Amino acid sequence: MSCYNASRWLGESIESVLNQSYDDFEFIIVDDGSKDDTPAIIERYATTDDRIVAISKANTGLADSLNVGISQARGEWIARQDADDISAPARLEKQVQLVMANRNIVFVGTGLIEIDEFGREYSTYRYPTAHSRLLKNLHTAQKFPPHSSAFYRRDVAQSISGYRTRFRRSQDRDLWLRLSALGELACLDEPLVRVRTHPGQISNDESGRRQRVDATMAMTSYCLCNTGASDPVDSDDEIFQAFYSWLERELSTEGGGGFQDEKERLKRLFKWRRNGAPANWIALSVVAHPKFLIRLVCERLWGSSVAVRLARKWVKLQIK
């Protein structure tokens, strides 16, 4: 668990891990330079439960903080949870049972229950359980188990250098794509984590644009590697910055950016509807944009091909 100014829900999140039915684990909590009461809360729990390993460091972001935690881990498997989310009591037990039954697995996710900042439940999400469908969903921008449900092989993650710190967002999607080349992905059908949505989430900054660009970068990087092309994410700073800026421009000029903005607007309307707003606002939003609706349906059925197109385009640019 990596924490940054996470005091509001941190106690509830920590307790959900400590109260697991499977209790043979170390609980590494990395404080990423918090300025609130987060360090004191971690210390309070650490004094009462010796399974907690508390690490305090300067603020360097989520990916680096998770790599620090992984480097200190002694277990064969890493379980992830964000500091505002909650694990069901049997989560770890059921994930351990699955990987013990199939040693080819390198990643296991679970379904989720979405909750708001007050803990009210909204929606339940379940995901495919087969490796092939999970991998397809990963590289076509379809639904995939949340980061807070992740359970993955430590040695395999370390063999590919863990999370890549050039990803400020979607570093999990990037890691899962790279892990998929080394073993099987799996998912439990049960919703074993409660994932909190709230205005302060980093995925909501810039209206989610940074999240979308980084997710596209992860998928494009995967496509480039699959064709044997050089991966600009692992190149020097000049090439990487050129690649990232190019991705931003491409997503805005090809219509992808506008489409994604509309999807975000629709998601916000759905959340507004759940709080009692009239449903006809959602209907009006969709009917007024028939092209948007067609593309939305196509992506729901077959996923996005944006990353494949961008990878081909980038390779052609390098040849020139």
pLDDT tens digits, 126-136: 999 999 999 99
At residue 206 the predicted structure's pLDDT band, cuts being 50, 70 and 90, is low
pLDDT-derived band of residue 211, with 50, 70 and 90 as boundaries? confident
Q: What is the pTM of this model?
A: 0.86
Q: How confident is the model at residue 273 (pLDDT cuts 50, 70, 90)?
A: very low
- Asked whether the predicted pLDDT for residue 169 surpasses 60, the reply is yes
pLDDT at 256 over 80: no
Residue 53's nearest CA partner among 76, 30, 33 is 30
The lowest-confidence range among 53-57, 96-100, 108-112, 121-125 is 121-125
Alpha helices in the chain (DSSP H): 7-18, 38-46, 62-72, 91-101, 131-139, 154-159, 171-179, 209-226, 237-253, 256-274, 280-287, 290-302, 306-319
Q: What is the mean pLDDT of residues 146-173?
A: 96
What are 45-75's pLDDT values in tens digits?
Answer: 999 999 999 999 999 999 999 999 999 999 9
Q: Is the pLDDT of residue 172 over 70?
A: yes
Closest CA to 10 of 114, 119, 115, 84: 84
The confidence score (pLDDT) of residue 277 equals 47
Output b/e per residue, 228-265; b: 16+ Cβ within 10 A: eeebbbeeeeeebeebbeebbebbeeeebbebbebbbe
User: Exposed (0-12), middle (13-18) or buried (19+): which is 227, by Cβ within 10 Å?
Assistant: exposed
How many other CB atoms are found less than 10 A from the CB of residue 151?
26
Q: DSSP code of 11? A: H
What pLDDT does residue 204 have?
A: 52
- The 10s digit of each residue's pLDDT in 34-53 is 999 999 999 999 999 999 99
